[in-house]
Amino acid sequence: MTDTLQPLLVKLDRIAALLVDRPAGPGPAPAPDRQAFVWEGRFAPVERIAAVAPDALIGMDRQKEAFYANVRRFLAGTPAHDVLLWGDRGTGKSSLVRTVFHVFPDLAVVEVPEPRIPELPLLLEALDRDPRRWIVYLDDLSFSGPDDRYRELKVLLEGGLRARPANTLAVATSNRRHLVPERFPNDGEIHPQETVAETVSLADRFGLSLGFYPFAPATFREAVARHLRGFGVEPPPGWEAEAERWALERGIRSGRTALQAAREIAGAWFSGHDG
């Protein structure tokens, strides 16, 4: 088998799998009484939704305002953007998406794992028959380069002949601003700008791109204190030094690190006050 034929055969295998697995009739349909699903070749309902309260997220007022305003436009049936939330690990990208269960109770969400991106046409066909408004959620996207999944997602977002259902909005999170590693073009390339254009072409299809960054020290302390009170603990003596030590050991002041530091401080406090 030649290297030239291998990508074609892989693609044919994917198409064949979709045809074999596809049920007769109109195909899979999401349960009408559930708000959250994971796409597993069917709509698997999420029994316990990991919703996040908007007030639990601090240091991202600009991102929340822009994201919620865009979702409101989408729910109203007015023009809205697909959304890319990008930035450092643990800075609240996925948490912001999970606040929609509190803020927009009429919105339905389906999470699509990255390996299932080739099945998006089947999923979108099903959503086109559903009366609700849907977020198609692609969490933690990262491509090693412009591979088949990258190109399939690019076409489905914008650029193919088939129009996407009007009741769908794509929301993706990634640690990379352009979803792929950014490298200098290889020496000797005649048109290096074409490589750069292909690299950023998927990210460009998200009309709303919001960056997330590590916290400033004061914001980090505020987040730790808020999480401590959420655990039922008033910040005890020495908590700020412990929180800072936690952040330094992990190399980042982020919302995730703040929650972990608060969990550690609160756990130690409760252990010292047993009985």
pLDDT band at 79 (very low <50, low <70, confident <90, very high): very high
Amino acid 48 reads R
Asked whether residue 10 is domain-assigned, the answer is no
Asked whether residue 93 is domain-assigned, the answer is yes
Of 187, 212, 237, the last residue of a domain is: 212
Name the least confident of 31-45, 129-143, 175-189.
175-189
* Residue 124 shares a structural domain with residue 93: yes
Q: Mean pLDDT: which of 96-105, 111-120, 173-182, 266-275 is highest?
A: 96-105
Model pTM score: 0.80
* Residue 175 shares a structural domain with residue 201: yes
Instruction: Identify the pLDDT of residue 191.
Output: 37
Instruction: Identify the pLDDT of residue 196.
Output: 43
* Residue 112 shares a structural domain with residue 202: yes
What is the distance between the alpha carbons of residues 38 and 54, in angstroms, rounded to a whole number? Answer: 22
* Residue 141 shares a structural domain with residue 238: no
Instruction: Identify the pLDDT of residue 251.
Output: 93
Asked whether residue 3 is domain-assigned, the answer is no
Instruction: Identify the pLDDT of residue 193.
Output: 47
* Residue 114 shares a structural domain with residue 147: yes
Mean pLDDT of the chain: 83
pLDDT band at 131 (very low <50, low <70, confident <90, very high): very high
If one compares 189 and 80, the residue with the highest pLDDT of the two is 80
Strands 36-39, 43-45: pairing is antiparallel
What is the distance between the alpha carbons of residues 31 and 158, in angstroms, rounded to a whole number? Answer: 28
* Residue 41 shares a structural domain with residue 138: yes
Per the structure, how many domains does the chain have?
2
Name the least confident of 183-192, 215-224, 258-267.
183-192
Mean pLDDT (whole number) for 2-24: 52
Is pLDDT of 45 > 80? yes
Mean pLDDT (whole number) for 101-130: 93
What is the distance between the alpha carbons of residues 177 and 155, in angstroms, rounded to a whole number? Answer: 19
Mean pLDDT (whole number) for 234-240: 94
Q: What is the pLDDT of residues 60-72, one digit of tens each?
A: 999 999 999 999 9
CATH number at residue 30: 3.40.50.300
In order of 239, 258, 259, 262, the CA distances from 265 in angstroms are: 7, 11, 10, 5
Asked whether residue 193 is domain-assigned, the answer is yes
Q: What is the pLDDT of residues 149-202, one digit of tens each?
A: 767 777 677 756 677 899 999 999 987 775 655 555 555 454 344 344 445 667
Q: Mean pLDDT: which of 183-187, 229-233, 271-275 is highest?
A: 229-233
* Residue 223 shares a structural domain with residue 206: no
Is pLDDT of 147 > 80? no
Asked whether residue 4 is domain-assigned, the answer is no
Of 212, 232, 249, the last residue of a domain is: 212
If one compares 163 and 78, the residue with the highest pLDDT of the two is 78
* Residue 48 shares a structural domain with residue 179: yes
Asked whether residue 13 is domain-assigned, the answer is no
Instruction: Identify the pLDDT of residue 27.
Output: 67
Asked whether residue 89 is domain-assigned, the answer is yes
Give the percent of the chain with pLDDT over 70: 76
What is the distance between the alpha carbons of residues 229 and 254, in angstroms, rounded to a whole number? Answer: 18
Instruction: Identify the pLDDT of residue 183.
Output: 54
What is the distance between the alpha carbons of residues 187 and 169, in angstroms, rounded to a whole number? Answer: 39
Residues contacting 80, CB < 8 A, separation 6+? 70, 71, 73, 74, 169
pLDDT band at 102 (very low <50, low <70, confident <90, very high): very high
Domain extent at residue 246: 217-272
* Residue 85 shares a structural domain with residue 191: yes
* Residue 116 shares a structural domain with residue 252: no
E strands within 59-123? 83-87, 108-111
If one compares 177 and 102, the residue with the highest pLDDT of the two is 102
* Residue 109 shares a structural domain with residue 155: yes
* Residue 178 shares a structural domain with residue 96: yes
Asked whether residue 11 is domain-assigned, the answer is no
